[in-house]
Structure 1
């Protein structure tokens, strides 16, 4: 079998996107060329790699195996480029990091600033996604390093505590409970709520614990930015639960107050995650060591 790197990258794009059309676009080739390459790979293998359906394609058992090996080969090529790039001009390489909303918005900008200054020829690809998607990206080789909440399943991942990320309640300063030093979620169940968009790991966490208490939350507004949430809370539109780091920055200047949550699940921890047994590219390893040095225990 003779699969070239273009074949392997195309096949990985197919698995990630679920359609030949999208994969062809990502691979900068026509749909006809992409289809021909897939047929060529299947002909060499002597077995189908994809099952075609109305909603796209999915890998056969052979396709799943090829996908695993293709990711490993492409990652090794990335390692090679990173290790050799210092001998040429331009960037030495790229480190790929995924983080949840709290990590990307509140913790990583400061944490990586010193690294980028010390390594001017290393580019950082930073992607924000749910903690589950952070770990899925690591397992699939889509990123080098992940920052995720300890509320998700880390099986198959090497994870170490990185920074505390407790959650707090955010209330209007005139709210009757705003003078309290701490609260429990149960005391806020009947309030109107403002939060992150549906699908956010943080919103799912709060909603799950509210449901366990017998009272699903009543969402009035769902916004993308912590600052916008605090603005609406300050204007009396509802209450929110946010990471303490975000609340400290945004609540006070928007007429809101952050109050500690007593619930054990609110004492979250951010985890620094990598894939076990995988050697990182040199520049990604440097970033990992930098982040480890900037952990807060």
Structure 2
């Protein structure tokens, strides 16, 4: 039985993306190379790990069991690497944080910039993930802290309400859609969209919500960052689904406009989770508290 860590990382990426091509993009492989590696992994194990269906790649019963073990194994490898590298470099604390794109771009990066500047002996590894994968990753000890849209459902994590945000349609100034105070999501699917990268949790969410409406978004361009996407919107390329907090500065400078969505999912409750069972290092506790106490973040939980 022979396979490599790359095969296990690919398996995990495909399971989370529910797509061979999406998983391949995550681990920087071509679709053909990913297909070859997956077939070899299944041959080595003697079982099929996925059911290939029209809606994507679904895990088999064997695949679900494999996923549990792979998450635990890769988490151990990550911790080993971080601890050994940290010792070699004289670092005192190493923390891994997973977050969806909205919280990452809206709140986390500015908070951590201030924290790291004040705490030179702490290193933080940031990774963007889709919200629906983050809690399981923390419970599986892949990382120390996770922040995602939605509520916590796992007894294996400690959860706290992190922030409240709103997904809105960002449009050029004077675009016809800005004449509305709020619109239903299906109504904007006739418009051209500017999106962040295909691997972004923001784009995956847009695509999934469009599918639920029986449509596919009309994408003119994928930008690599929200800032680039907002610049494209300002230039009149199309509209963008984005958190209001991400667009706040550009809106204040009257570069773009925002229209609310009359959808229950548009209001985003962001949850912070850390592991409940394993002893948490003082550095992790310190970062958790710093993130929760950031005045800008705290203000969203209590706007009054």
Query: Partner residue of 1:149?
Result: 149
1:39 match: none
Q: TM-score, normalised by structure 1?
A: 0.68
Question: Cα distance 1:155–1:185, how it changes in 2: closer, same or farther (>3 A)?
Answer: farther
SS at match of 1:268: strand
CA distance in 1, matches of 2:98, 2:267: 22
Distance 1:235 1:153, change over 3 A: farther
Partner of 1:55: 40
Give the stretch that moved more between structures: 268-277 or 65-74: 65-74
Contact kept, 8 Å, 1:231 with 1:254, in 2: the verdict is no
SS of structure 2 residue aligned to 1:210: helix
Match in the other structure for 2:230: 230
Q: CA deviation at 1:170?
A: 0.7
Instruction: Give the number of equivalent residue pairs.
Output: 252
SS of alignment partner, residue 285 of structure 1:
helix
How many Å apart are 1:167 and its aligned residue? 0.5
| Structure 1 pair 184–285 and aligned structure 2 pair: CA distance change class (3 A) | same
Cα distance per residue 1:255-291 (max 9 Å; x no partner): 4211222211100121101233122222112212222
Q: 1:129 to 1:236 in 2, by over 3 A?
A: same
Cα deviation, 1:225-276, whole Å, max 9, x if unaligned, reads 1122122222222111101111113356584211222211100121101233
Aligned-pair RMSD on alpha carbons?
A: 3.9
Q: 1:61-210 maps to which residues of 2 (within 5 A)?
A: 90-150=90-150, 156-210=156-210
Q: Give the 3 Å change call, closer, same or farther, for CA 251–269 of structure 1 in structure 2.
A: same
Encode CA deviations 1:117-172: one digit per residue, 9 max, x unaligned: 44321112222232244334323322100111118976754432201121011111
Structure 2 residue runs of 5 or longer lacking an equivalent are 12-36, 47-61
Q: How does 1:240-251 map to 2 (within 5 A)?
A: 240-251=240-251
Assess, with a 3 A threshold, how the Cα gap between structure 1 residues 238 and 98 changes in structure 2: closer, same or farther: same
Q: TM-score, normalised by structure 2?
A: 0.67
Mapped pair 1:257 → 2:242: no
Measured at CA, do residues 13 and 124 of structure 1 come closer, stay the same or move farther in structure 2, by a change above 3 Å?
A: same
SS where residue 179 of structure 2 aligns?
coil
1 CA distance for matches of 2:208 and 2:82? 41
Q: Do the aligned partners of 2:7 and 2:38 also contact (CA within 8 Å) in 1?
A: no
* CA shift in 2, pair 1:113/1:15, >3 Å: same
SS at match of 2:190: coil
The 1-side partners of 2:68 and 2:210 are apart by 42
Whether the aligned pair in 1 keeps the contact of 2:71 and 2:137 (CA below 8 Å) is no
2:216 is matched with which residue? 216
What's the CA shift for 1:67? Answer: 6.6
Shift of 1:116: 2.3
Please give the secondary structure, in 2, of the residue aligned with 1:194. strand
TM-superposition CA deviations, 1:22-79 (whole Å, max 9, x none): xxxxxxxxxxxxxxxxxxxxxxxxxxxxxx9753477799998987886787799799
From the superposition, tell whether residues 140 and 171 of structure 1 become closer, same or farther in structure 2 (CA, over 3 Å): same
- 8 Å CA contact 1:248–1:258 kept in 2: the answer is no
Q: Structure 1 175/122 Cα, relative in aligned 2: closer, same or farther at 3 Å?
A: same
1:237 aligned counterpart, secondary structure: coil
